[in-house]
């Protein structure tokens, strides 16, 4: 991305970053390394890394998003945000060998097919150290039901965008996570009918 090109910007990141940070801060107190899957614009990464300076915050996303993420990292010039990794949940290439203390992902699981969301869980489990945490932020269904009319409308919009997309059910994610050694240990209600779900690797 050239200096003349504006950084990518997602208004939702500005709205949800403080509620998410309030959840992450106590969870990640004893952590040193975080792998973020699907860093998007990079806004969350620079905000969380600045407020949690004890963490090494490793961004990642598909290759087409890396230049935008790098623009945010370059402007912030933080010492704890290395260059973003090119990762795709549907492909093995490039995933870190060193275990992370935590994996974070925001607003990703509903923007991919259900099979890909299960692969995200599997790759997160593989990337985590024993006892490590996977934190996922976004809208989720509870026992097959929407938690709000706005989420139902959003799901309709997602499926019109791509029939494979859609809001994932907490129970279905738990069922996919269990064989991977991931157990849900937290469920935090967030503004705008979202949640932060927390799984721990046994």
* Domain range enclosing 35: 19-201
- Structural domain includes residue 12: no
| Count of domains observed in the chain | 1
* CA distance to 71, 73, 132, 156, 158, per residue, from 164 (Å): 31, 32, 30, 11, 9
Neighbours of 74 (CB within 10 A): 15
Contacts of 38 (CB under 8 A, 6+ apart): 60, 61, 105, 106, 107, 108
Q: Which residue has the tokens 């965008």?
A: 161
- Structural domain includes residue 90: yes
Contact 43, 10 (CB under 8 A): yes
Tens digit of each residue's pLDDT, the chain (202 residues) = 445 457 999 999 999 999 999 999 999 999 999 999 999 999 999 999 999 999 999 999 999 999 999 999 999 999 999 999 999 999 999 999 899 999 999 999 999 999 999 999 999 999 999 999 999 999 999 999 999 999 999 999 999 999 999 999 999 999 999 999 999 999 999 999 999 999 999 9
- Structural domain includes residue 3: no
CATH number at residue 33: 3.40.50.150
Burial (CB count <10 Å: 0-12, 13-18, 19+), residue 35: buried
- Which helix (H) or strand (E) segment holds residue 26: the answer is helix 11-27
- Structural domain includes residue 98: yes
């Amino acid at each position: 991305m050239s200096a003349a090109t504006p950084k990518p910007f997602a208004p939702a990141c500005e709205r949800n970053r403080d509620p998410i940070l309030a959840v992450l801060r106590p969870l990640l107190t004893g952590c040193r390394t975080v792998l973020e899957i699907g860093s998007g614009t990079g806004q969350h990464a620079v905000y969380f890394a600045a407020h949690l300076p004890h963490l090494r915050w490793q961004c990642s996303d598909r290759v087409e998003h890396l230049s935008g993420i790098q623009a945010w990292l370059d402007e912030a010039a933080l010492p704890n945000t290395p260059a973003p990794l090119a990762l795709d949940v549907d492909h093995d290439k490039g995933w870190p060998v060193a275990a992370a203390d935590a994996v974070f992902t925001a607003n990703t699981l509903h923007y991919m097919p259900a099979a890909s969301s299960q692969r995200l869980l599997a790759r997160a489990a593989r990337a985590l150290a024993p006892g490590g945490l996977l934190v996922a932020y976004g809208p989720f269904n509870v026992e097959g039901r929407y938690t709000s009319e706005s989420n139902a409308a959003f799901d309709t919009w997602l499926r019109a965008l791509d029939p494979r997309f859609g809001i994932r059910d907490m129970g279905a994610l738990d069922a996919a996570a269990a064989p991977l050694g991931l157990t849900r240990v937290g469920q935090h209600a967030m503004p705008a009918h979202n949640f932060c779900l927390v799984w721990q690797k046994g």
